[in-house]
Amino acid sequence: MIEVAGDSLYIGCFEAEDLAKRFGTPLYVYDEELIRYNYSRLLRAFRYKWLEILYSCKANSNPWILSILRDLGSGLDAVSPLEVLLGIKLGFPKDKILFTGVNVSDEEMLFIRGELGVMINIDSLSQLERYGRLFPETKVSIRINPGFGRGHHRYTITGGITKFGIYPSQIEKAIETSRKYGLKIAGLHMHIGSGIYDVELYLKGLEILLNIATRLGGIEFIDIGGGLGIPYRPGDREMDIDLLGFKVSELLEEFTRRYWEVKLRIEPGRYIVGNAGVLLTRVIDVKEIEHAGEKKLFIGVDTGMNHLIRPALYDAYHEIIPARGSNRPREVIADVVGNICESGDILARDRRLPRIEEGEILAILDVGAYGYSMSSNYNLRPRPAEVLISGCSVKLIRRRETFEDLIRTAELESLASR
Ligand code: LLP
């Protein structure tokens, strides 16, 4: 569990401050117990008998985290050849991996379908045609864009007029192409966005998929994608996953009664790992300015948009608390800013916080999804280390990057002597 006890933040048995001292900062810390709990919440909510959870590994692809999910029986939603390869190497069953790419080249399909033997979820009519030529008489899945979507930011909406999927108006053409190459459409898929709190929208999309399924016949699975929203701000609403699970299960049970047994797939990423990660960072420089009649307080930390891009990219909110004295009264309003040379490198804007001293450890919460996985080496800064807490044990699951990881030293030496 990740919680404030007494006046300090704990992850499992460990005080966040001690972890920061022991492993250095910035540091990503994950809680295994929460990951397991979130997974079990999904199983409880979606009671449909033929449910398969395909963890969306773009949210967090640390191999240790993936292996926890593999052991729980999860499959994998993969969006790049190397995500598929990682899943195979970690022992995820091939028939529980689905590759959903965009702008997928023939070379990528030859690798994923041909070499690795993983099913491809087709994103466009062109890809279907090329797939048919390469792999006639095989099974495919089709990503349907139902024409609407939702997300916590416009960049995370994937249904509607976006680059993703095959539109309902293109289905006839898709069927024709599949016939031409003897393809069997085994799966129908949608993923309409990320950070959705609205149950109805999923049901509307699911109905479209089920209608297409009855027209096509022989569908083996219906995949409603990921996107389940989680709360980030104190007081934020939560996606009612029990209601969603209940309604989706009900629709599928009815389909199964009337037609045939079909599997239900869901592809959550954020829901499983989002609240299970924190980023610990040290306060380096507290700067108070007064200029042109304006006052501003900046709390400068040793991480930034290179390690957590969500605030800069989506204006996303992440709660930030001091690791010790977490419950101190919030007396100041400040921007928490990173150490990257960009003025947009703001982790929290005009945030009400306690008075913070230089040297303190801050915890940025709910960064288990799309934190490390979207990090970069911008400004030639190494990525942080990652540790996994499992109750009272702690494991370094990725070491901090070094200069050598970023630059091939041998090459550098030969360049220096030129
Ligand atoms: N399935 C497919 C095909 C996807 O493209 C995605 C996410 C998921 C499942 C999982 O979505 P989730 O359950 O995690 O919402 N970087 C953004 C989120 C982008 C999501 C992209 N696709 C963020 O930090 O909010």
- pTM to 2 decimal places: 0.97
Q: Which atom of ligand 1 is nearest to the CA of 194?
A: 15
What's the confidence (pLDDT) of residue 111? 98
Give me the residues paired with residue 143 across strands.
189
Q: What is the mean pLDDT of each run of 10 residues along the chain (418 residues)?
A: 96 98 98 98 97 98 98 98 98 98 98 98 98 98 96 94 94 96 98 96 97 95 97 90 98 97 98 98 97 95 98 98 97 98 98 98 98 98 98 98 88 79
Q: How far is the CA of 317 from the centre of ligand 1 (A)?
A: 17
What's the confidence (pLDDT) of residue 335? 98
CA distances from 202 to 89, 147, 150, 214, 344 (A): 33, 12, 10, 18, 34
Residues contacting residue 265 through CB under 8 Å, at least 6 positions apart: 51, 52, 53, 54, 75, 98, 187, 189, 221, 222, 223, 224
What's the confidence (pLDDT) of residue 413? 80
Mutation choice for ligand 1 from 56, 188, 239, 279, CB with most ligand atoms inside 8 A: 56
* Cβ 205 under 6 angstroms from ligand 1: no
Mutation choice for ligand 1 from 46, 58, 74, CB with most ligand atoms inside 8 A: 58
What angle in degrees, to the nearest 10, is found between the helix axes of 199-216 and 171-180? 40
CA distances from 113 to 129, 134, 168, 350 (A): 15, 10, 25, 49
pLDDT, one tens digit per residue, over 65-118 is 999 999 999 999 999 999 999 999 999 999 999 999 999 999 999 999 999 999
Using alpha carbons, select from 61, 54, 20 the residue that is nearest to residue 374: 61
What's the confidence (pLDDT) of residue 237? 82
From CA 47, how far away is CA 225, in angstroms rounded?
A: 17
Residues contacting residue 314 through CB under 8 Å, at least 6 positions apart: 152, 153, 155, 156
Q: Which atom of ligand 1 is nearest to the CA of 121?
A: 3
* Cβ 60 under 6 angstroms from ligand 1: no
* Cβ 227 under 6 angstroms from ligand 1: yes
Residue 45 Rama label (left phi>0; alpha psi -120 to 50; beta): alpha
Q: Which atom of ligand 1 is nearest to the CA of 270?
A: 14
Q: Where are the alpha helices (DSSP H) in 292-375?
A: 310-314
DSSP for 173-211, written as a single string? HHHHHHHHTT-EEEEEE---BSSB--HHHHHHHHHHHHH
- Residue for token pair 């960009």: 342
Question: What is the residue with the minimal CA distance to atom 23 of ligand 1?
Answer: 370
* Cβ 310 under 6 angstroms from ligand 1: yes
What angle in degrees, to the nearest 10, is found between the helix axes of 32-45 and 63-71? 40
From CA 22, how far away is CA 17, in angstroms rounded?
A: 9
* CA contacts within 13 A on the Cβ side of 219: 26
